[in-house]
Amino acid sequence: MKAQKFVLVDSLKSNQTINVLENEKKTVFILLTSGESQDGHVQIDMKGKNSSAQILGVVIGSGKQIINLHTFQDHMAGESQSDLLIKSVLFDCSKFNYEGLIRIEKDAQRSNAYQKNQNLLLSESSWANSQPKLEILANDVRCTHGATIGQINPEQMYYLKTRGLTDASAKKILVEGFIQDVVGRIEDEDIKKKIYGKIETVIRSKL
Amino acid sequence: MQSPNPISDYKYGFHKPENYAFKSKKGLSKSVVEEISYHKNEPEWMKNFRLEALDIYYSKKIPQWGGDLNHIPFDDITYYMSPTDRKVNSWKDLPKDIKDTYDRIGIPEAEKKFLGGVSAQYESEVVYKSIQKTLSAKGVIFLDMDSGLRQYPDLVKEYFGTIIPPVDNKFSALNSAVWSGGSFIYVPKGIRVELPLQAYFRINAANMGQFERTLIIADEGSFVHYVEGCTAPIYTTDSLHAAVVEIIVKKGARVRYTTIQNWSTNVYNLVTKRMRVEEEAVGEWIDGNLGSKLTMKYPSVYLVGKGAKGEILSVAVAGKGQHQDAGGKAIHVAPYTTSKITSKSVSSAGGRTSYRGLIQMLHSAKKAKTKVVCDALLVDDFSRSDTYPTMDIRHNDIQVEHEATVSKIGNDQLFYLQSRGLKKADAEAMIVNGFIEPIVKEIPLEYAVELNRLIQMEMEGSVG
């Protein structure tokens, strides 16, 4: 099998466009763990027939950081597929604004698009703002999106603590599991390890 | 952009003759507002309220989000008419297709005459009087807004404009300046109104004004269900409908507000609806939008008391040349508040539906929970569906879920039904009716039946 093309976006610019052409398969990973406030757009243009994109994202916010992320999955050609999963873990007074748009143009019949944004708020003062949007101009399509915002599930915490884990280590396991769900989707093992290592360092420094 | 007044295109449309006792000049000005207030013989504070609102209206820009509002003929609108002495049509003169529509939807004879302009008032006087009697024995007030202001000025003054102040948006300011008609309801402490209160029971004012203003106050522990509108098409020559509905649900009370609207396709329907829900109280909106050229309506619940609960059910059907921009908002202010928004939309024949919603959880809303579900159905390949939700969460001890799907009518579903001998239009209507069923089952039976029949007719039209 031909290796998937992998694009890493590790800082935001006003606009970054990634084109996905006919029969092409791409994975885009948005990794925002630097601790700096940032603002930007990531646009994925599904330009060719039978193109396919996986868009993954991990955002870790801390301090007084503000992150504004816009994503745009623009389906211009038929039978194209895009699948987005972006998760954030927010510490301290950090704030994450996410706005994601899926647009299926008239000529992009038989396309599928998915979008999921999950946000974990780890402090009382953290904020999340999520706007998952759909604009569908073709009818023979399947689109879903979902968003959740919440804290660590107290039942899961309780379960781990009954197994003898401390509060801190239980929390760490749950947060890492939350992130693992995104990183685990990377096919290339080397890249997966590298990215996960980077995230782990940041999380460990916070928990 | 279509011409804003395609009267002749509206297949259920008809004219109501104009014969008004008082009618303001076309267009809006300070003197028009003063004239309205003078004509209604209002107290000084209401006149000042109107004039202040007019200034706010002038100072605000036309919103550039949502639908296209740049073609509303503001100068060509008559902002006030007193609805007395309406000349009546003869039943025979009504166009055949309207009579057919009424027959097929199954509207009762008396109501048909009212809707067709044959009888100036729905012949509900008897019903209304007996209902009024039971209501007033319990201390319930159910009047049109103008009479409410005359008879209960203190109560109106205390609450009017407190939930939706004129500064809220351009159209709430416009409504505040020129409002007329609407309902005024007060339910005393601990009183449960078992029968739904329906707008068309009121006999002394037109029940669907252009700038109607409704105020409902449910005192502690009370319950009321208010129903307005109807599924049958309403024809109006006024191209702008900008209503304001304010509801106060006090501690432990419950209010349900059901609207089904089917304006003719020349109408801009821009409505601000809001409920303030206090401790352990329940506020519910059931909102159905069928007609109009453009509807922008987002009923909202402000959950300000501990344990308050809000629910919004929204159904939108957009046909040819229509844009339904509808949804709901829940603002969580107090702890342990819960909300649920369910939206179902159907786009056919080139129509566009947009779900637009807001969930906001303030820092004080600890342990609050919300769930939003939006489903959209696209009937053909030149219609459009959008989803624009916003979730603004400022605290971590909460739970927020949102999900949306957009899909077309399944070919396998159609094939199955057609293989059982159903015509394509019937099969489509059956699927669409099944799709919106979770909401339809919450509305009063007679409306639900009419709604199902109306969708059946729409689907026949879309196949040609």
Q: Of A128, A129, A136, which has the smallest distance from its Cβ to B378's Cβ?
A: A136
Q: Do A135 and B384 touch (CB under 8 A)?
A: yes
Give the pLDDT score at B2. Answer: 40
By C-alpha distance, the chain A residue nearest B357 is: A131
Q: Do B140 and B193 touch, CB atoms closer than 8 A?
A: yes
Chain A residues near residue B387 by CB distance under 8 angstroms: 132-134, 145
Q: Do B362 and B396 touch, CB atoms closer than 8 A?
A: no
Smallest CA–CA distance, residue B440 to chain A, in Å, is 23
Chain A residues near residue B402 by CB distance under 8 angstroms: 130, 132, 145-148
The 3-state secondary structure of B263-274, one letter per residue: ECCCCEEEEEEE
Q: Do B266 and B293 touch, CB atoms closer than 8 A?
A: yes
For residue B175, give the amino acid letter: N
Record the tokens describing residue A154, joined without a space.
């107290």
How far, in Å, are A97, A128, B34, B39, B181 from residue B44 at the CA level?
47, 46, 11, 13, 19
Residues present in chain B in total: 464
Q: What is the pTM of this model?
A: 0.84
Interface residue of A68, A102, A133, A175 to substitute, partner B, most B CBs within 10 Å? A133
Average pLDDT, chain A: 92
Interface residue of A136, A157, A171, A175 to substitute, partner B, most B CBs within 10 Å? A136
Question: Is the Cα dihedral A87, B367, B273, B401 positive or negative?
Answer: positive
Task: Report d(CA B9, CA A33) in Å as an integer.
Answer: 58
Would you tell me which residues 136-165 of chain A have a C-beta closer than 8 angstroms to some C-beta of chain B? 136-151
Chain A residues near residue B327 by CB distance under 8 angstroms: none
Give the pLDDT score at B160. Answer: 97
Record the tokens describing residue B274, joined without a space.
């809001």
Q: Which residues pair with A2 in a beta bridge?
A: none
Touching check for A100 and chain B: CB below 8 Å? Answer: no
Q: Do A137 and B384 touch (CB under 8 A)?
A: yes
Q: What pLDDT digit, counting tens, does each position of B260-310 carry?
A: 887 777 789 999 999 999 999 999 999 999 888 999 999 999 999 999 999
Chain B residues near residue A123 by CB distance under 8 angstroms: 396
Q: Do A144 and B406 touch (CB under 8 A)?
A: yes
Task: Report d(CA A27, CA A44) in Å as an integer.
Answer: 10
Give the pLDDT score at B101. Answer: 65
Q: What pLDDT digit, counting tens, does each position of A76-115 carry?
A: 999 999 999 999 999 999 999 999 999 999 989 999 999 9
Per-residue pLDDT of chain B (464 residues; tens, 9 = 90+): 344 443 334 444 444 444 455 677 788 999 999 999 998 899 999 999 999 999 999 999 999 888 899 888 888 887 886 654 333 455 666 556 556 666 766 666 656 655 554 443 443 445 566 677 888 899 999 888 888 999 999 999 999 999 999 999 999 999 999 998 888 999 999 999 988 887 654 333 344 457 889 999 999 999 999 988 665 555 555 678 899 999 999 999 999 999 888 777 778 999 999 999 999 999 999 999 988 899 999 999 999 999 999 999 999 999 888 999 999 999 999 999 999 999 999 998 889 999 999 999 999 999 999 999 999 998 888 899 999 999 999 888 888 999 888 888 888 888 999 999 998 888 988 899 889 888 888 887 777 877 787 777 777 755 43
DSSP conformation letters of chain A: -PPPEEEEE-S--S-EEEEE-TT-EEEEEEEE-SSS-EEEEEEEEE-STT-EEEEEEEEEE-TT-EEEEEEEEEE-STT-EEEEEEEEEE-TT-EEEEEEEEEE-TT-TT-EEEEEEEEEE-STT-EEEEEEEEEE--SS-EEEEEEEEE---HHHHHHHHHTT--HHHHHHHHHHHHHHHHHTT---HHHHHHHHHHHHHHHHHH-
Chain B residues near residue A134 by CB distance under 8 angstroms: 376, 385-387, 404, 406
Lowest mean pLDDT among A110-114, A132-136, A155-159, B448-452: B448-452
Record the tokens describing residue B302, joined without a space.
């402000």
Q: From chain B, which residues contact A within 8 Å (Cβ)? A: 363, 376, 378-408
Chain B residues near residue A119 by CB distance under 8 angstroms: 393
Backbone torsions φ then ψ of B454, nearest 5 degrees? -65, -40
Q: What pLDDT digit, counting tens, does each position of B194-228 carry?
A: 888 876 543 333 444 578 899 999 999 999 999 88
Q: Max CA-CA distance within chain A?
A: 57
By C-alpha distance, the chain B residue nearest A95 is: B394
Work out the average pLDDT over A35-53.
Answer: 94
Q: Do A146 and B376 touch (CB under 8 A)?
A: no
DSSP conformation letters of B349-390: TT-EEEEEEEEEE-TT-TTEEEEEEEEEEE-STT-EEEEEEE
Give the pLDDT score at B1. Answer: 36
Q: Do B236 and B17 touch, CB atoms closer than 8 A?
A: no
How far, in Å, are B26, B38, B50, B212 from residue B41 at the CA level?
21, 5, 13, 18
**A-B contacts at Cβ under 8 angstroms:** 107
Q: Do B408 and A139 touch (CB under 8 A)?
A: yes
Task: Report d(CA B328, CA B394) in Å as an integer.
Answer: 19
Residue partners of B153: CB distance under 8 A and separation at least 6:
B43
Q: Do B400 and B359 touch, CB atoms closer than 8 A?
A: yes
